Amino acid sequence: MNLTSLDFILVIVYFVVLILIGYLSSRKQNDEDFLIAERKLGAISTMATINASKTGSILMIFVALVYVWGFAAIWYFIGTVVGMLIFIPFALKLKENSNQRFYTLADYFKYNYGRKTALLASLIAIFLTFGFLVMNLIAGTKIFVFFTSWPFWLCSLIMISIVLIYVLIGGFKAVVRTDFIQYIIIIILLALLTFVLFNGSLIPASEWNFFKMDISLIIGFFVVGILYPFASPDLWQRVYASKDKKTFKKGTLLAAVIYAGFAFLLGLVALTIKVKFPEIDPDLALIHGFNYLLPKGILGLSVVLLFAAIMSTLDTDIFTGASIIVQDFYDWDKARTVKNMKKVIIILGLAGTLIAILIQDLVLSTYIFVSFMIVLAIVIMATWIKKSIKPITLIFGLALGTISIIGLLIYYFFLSDGVQPTIVVLGILFTIIGLIIGMLVSKKRIKLSGPAIIENEKLLLLFKIKDQHYEFPGGHVEKGESLEETAIREAQEEIACDVKLNKRLTTIKFEKDGQNFIAHIFSAQIIKGEPQANEVGHSRIIWLPIKDYQDYPLQVNVIEFCEKYLNNELDV
C-alpha cells in the first residue's frame, strides 16, 4: 500500500513545521545558542530531548528483536531505565565540575585525565555518533521506501536534506525545540496506535515470557541498556545544556518514567504485529504492521510518528558528531567554531547517507555500533567508581576494548556466520581486562636519568614544546645501560654537550600523564660543547635562576629539585 495524497500532505506539513522551527530558533540567536542553547534547558525540555534522541531507530530495532525473542527483548528497555537512574548522580557531579565550560564528552577526559585519554574517547564518540546517524538513516529510509517505492538513495537524500536545513539554521536550539515537538507527537500517536492495533488482539502467553532468550543474552541486553546513558555523547550535551543540577535531575527522572511507559506500549505493538505477521522481514516488521493493520485514515499519522522518532534522533546524531569533531580537536573562538561546525554537519550528513546506502542492514549495524559504545561506557563508569584512576589505565581499557571489537568483527565477517549478539559481552570483558592491565602498568615506575648542570646558582634546563614547561636534559634508561651512561648519552643527544658526572644528587619520584617515574639526578659539568636545544621536541635552553624557580613553568621533578637545593638538602 502506498501513501495517499492526504498522507503525503501530512508528511509534507510535518517537514515544513520542522524547517519553520529551525528558522524561529535562529532569530536573535547568538553563538552560545547555536552550540548549547545557552545552557538554559528546563525540566520538560530536558525530558523531551533526552527521550526523543533515544527513540529513533529503536522503534524498528526493538520490533525486529521481538520477532526473535518475544517480550524478552524488553530487557534492553529495563536496563536503559535503570541506567538513566544510575546515571543521574554521575551527571549531577559532571554538571557541577563542568563549570559551564564543557561542550562534549571528551572535555570531561581532557580536564580530568589528559589529552591522550580525551583523544581516544573522542575518536570512539565520533564513531558512535556517526554510527547511530547511519542506523537512523537506514531506518528512516526504509520507511520512506516502503511507503513510496522510491529508490533507497533518493529517500535517504530527502530525509537528510530536511534535517540539514533546520539544524544548519537553528543549531542546538533547533535540535532541542524540534525534539520537544516531535516527542509530544510520538507519545500521542503511539498511544493511539497501540489502542487501535491491540484492541481485540490475542497474544499467546508464550510471547510474554521474559526469559525466552538465553541468560547470557538477557544479561547482554540489560547491561547494554544500563551502559547506554554513560556512553551517549548527546546525553552529555543535555547535561551541560540544562539550567542547573535540580532541573536536570527532575527532567531525567521524568524521562525515565515516560520511557518505561513508552517501552511497554511499543512492546504491545511489536507483539501484536508478530502474531499477525509471523513470517516477514524483522527490519520491516513495524512499518509492515502499520501498513496492513491500520485504517486508511490513520496510516498517515503512523508515518508521521515514524518520521518524528527517526528525525528527532538524526538531528541529534549529526549535531553531536559535528560538535565533537570541531570542539575536541580545535580551539577556535565561538564564531569560528559555529562556522566550521556547519561545514562538518554537511559533510557528516552526506557521508552518513552514503554509508547508509551501502549497508542497508539495520540489525547488523546495531550490533556493530553498540559493541563500541559499551567500551566507552565501561571506561567512563570506571572513572566514576575510582576518581583517582590513572590516565594510562583508561587508555589501556579504551585501546584493548576497541581492538578486541575490531578483531571480533573481522572474525565474524570472514570466519563465522555473521555478527553475533555475544560481541557485546565479549567487548565488556576485554575492556575490563584492559583496565586491569592498565592498573598494573600504572604501578610500574619508569626509570629516568639526567644531569643537573649548575653554574652561578643557575640550573640548565630545556623547554619541552609539547608540555609547555622546562625540564632536565635526560631520558629513559635503556636496557643494559647504567644510570650514569644514560645521563651522559642524554646530555649529548639533547644539549649537544659532553658532560662529566660528579655524583648522584637525588632521586625524585613523580607522576606524569598517568605514569609513574623515578628520576635519578646527577651533578655534572660541561667538558665539551656549547649547550643548545638539539632535539625537535625542545625549542630552547634556559639558565634558570634557582631562587626564582616559582616564576617559571617547570616539570614536577624540577620543582622538587629546586626546593631541595634551596633548603640545602642536596650535597652539591
Q: What is the pLDDT of residues 467-499, one digit of tens each?
A: 899 999 999 999 889 999 999 999 999 999 999
Instruction: Find, among 559, 553, 479, 552, the residue nearest to 521 by Cα.
Output: 559
Burial class of residue 415, CB neighbours in 10 A (0-12, 13-18, 19+):
exposed
Q: Does the pLDDT value for residue 262 go beyond 90?
A: no
Q: Does the pLDDT value for residue 261 go beyond 70?
A: yes
Q: Does the pLDDT value for residue 224 go beyond 60?
A: yes
Whether residue 21 lies inside any domain: the answer is: no
Question: 209 pairs with which residues across the strands?
Answer: none
Q: Are residues 412 and 502 in the same domain?
A: no
Instruction: Find, among 345, 429, 444, the residue nearest to 393 by Cα.
Output: 444
Q: Are residues 397 and 487 in the same domain?
A: no
Q: Are residues 434 and 469 in the same domain?
A: no
Per-residue pLDDT at 213: 78
CA distances from 537 to 81, 465, 467, 492 (A): 49, 6, 10, 15
Final residue belonging to a domain, choices 415, 440, 465: 440
Whether residue 572 lies inside any domain: the answer is: no
Q: Does the pLDDT value for residue 264 go beyond 60?
A: yes
Residue 174 has which C-alpha cell?
A: 533547533
> pLDDT band at residue 449, thresholds of 50, 70 and 90?
very high
Q: Does the pLDDT value for residue 59 go beyond 90?
A: no
CA distances from 36 to 76, 87, 240, 248, 338 (A): 29, 21, 8, 15, 11
Per-residue pLDDT at 19: 92
Whether residue 13 lies inside any domain: the answer is: no
d(CA 140, CA 155): 8
Specify which of 189-193, 381-385, 515-519 reaches the highest per-range mean pLDDT: 381-385
* Amino acid code (one letter) for 451: P
Whether residue 342 lies inside any domain: the answer is: yes
> pLDDT band at residue 363, thresholds of 50, 70 and 90?
low
Q: Are residues 432 and 474 in the same domain?
A: no
Whether residue 14 lies inside any domain: the answer is: no
**How many domains, the chain?**
2
Per-residue pLDDT at 263: 87
Final residue belonging to a domain, choices 406, 440, 474: 440
Q: Are residues 412 and 558 in the same domain?
A: no
Q: Does the pLDDT value for residue 1 go beyond 60?
A: no
Q: Are residues 254 and 359 in the same domain?
A: yes
Give the pLDDT mean for 543-558. Answer: 93
Q: Does the pLDDT value for residue 3 go beyond 90?
A: no
Q: Does the pLDDT value for residue 364 go beyond 80?
A: no
d(CA 482, CA 69): 64
Alpha-carbon torsion, ordered 345, 346, 351, 356, to 10 deg: 80
> pLDDT band at residue 172, thresholds of 50, 70 and 90?
very high
Q: Are residues 260 and 124 in the same domain?
A: yes
Question: 504 pairs with which residues across the strands?
Answer: 522
Instruction: Find, among 420, 433, 345, the residue nearest to 169 by Cα.
Output: 345
Q: How far is CA 411 from the centre of its chain?
A: 25
| Cβ atoms of residues 179 and 316 within 8 Å | yes
Q: What is the pTM for the complete model shown? A: 0.76
Per-residue pLDDT at 426: 86
Whether residue 18 lies inside any domain: the answer is: no
E-strand ranges in 52-137 read: none
Alpha-carbon torsion, ordered 169, 26, 22, 42, to 10 deg: 130
Per-residue pLDDT at 275: 82
Per-residue pLDDT at 486: 94
The CATH number for 216's domain is: 1.20.1730.10
d(CA 14, CA 162): 10
d(CA 223, CA 76): 8
Region of 155 please: left (phi>0), alpha (psi -120 to 50) or beta.
alpha
| Cβ atoms of residues 392 and 441 within 8 Å | yes
d(CA 549, CA 564): 12
| Cβ atoms of residues 174 and 34 within 8 Å | no
| Cβ atoms of residues 203 and 194 within 8 Å | no
Q: Are residues 433 and 482 in the same domain?
A: no
Per-residue pLDDT at 302: 78
Q: How many CB atoms are located within 10 Å of the residue 211 CB?
A: 11
Q: Are residues 431 and 461 in the same domain?
A: no
The position carrying cell 642524554 is: 490
Q: Are residues 436 and 457 in the same domain?
A: no
Q: Does the pLDDT value for residue 250 go beyond 90?
A: yes
Q: Are residues 225 and 84 in the same domain?
A: yes
Among 194-208, 229-243, 523-537, which stretch is predicted with the lowest mean pLDDT?
194-208
Final residue belonging to a domain, choices 403, 423, 440: 440
Instruction: Find, among 506, 454, 451, the residue nearest to 473 by Cα.
Output: 451
Residue 413 has which C-alpha cell?
A: 565477517
Q: Does the pLDDT value for residue 446 go beyond 90?
A: no
> pLDDT band at residue 297, thresholds of 50, 70 and 90?
low
Q: Average per-residue pLDDT in the chain? A: 87
d(CA 508, CA 283): 62
Q: Are residues 275 and 127 in the same domain?
A: yes
Q: How far is CA 360 from the centre of its chain?
A: 24
Q: Does the pLDDT value for residue 565 go beyond 70?
A: yes
Domain residues for 479?
A: 445-566
| Cβ atoms of residues 46 and 252 within 8 Å | yes
Whether residue 20 lies inside any domain: the answer is: no
Alpha-carbon torsion, ordered 134, 138, 143, 145, to 10 deg: 130
Per-residue pLDDT at 362: 65
d(CA 332, CA 326): 9
The CATH number for 457's domain is: 3.90.79.10
Whether residue 32 lies inside any domain: the answer is: no
| Cβ atoms of residues 477 and 449 within 8 Å | yes
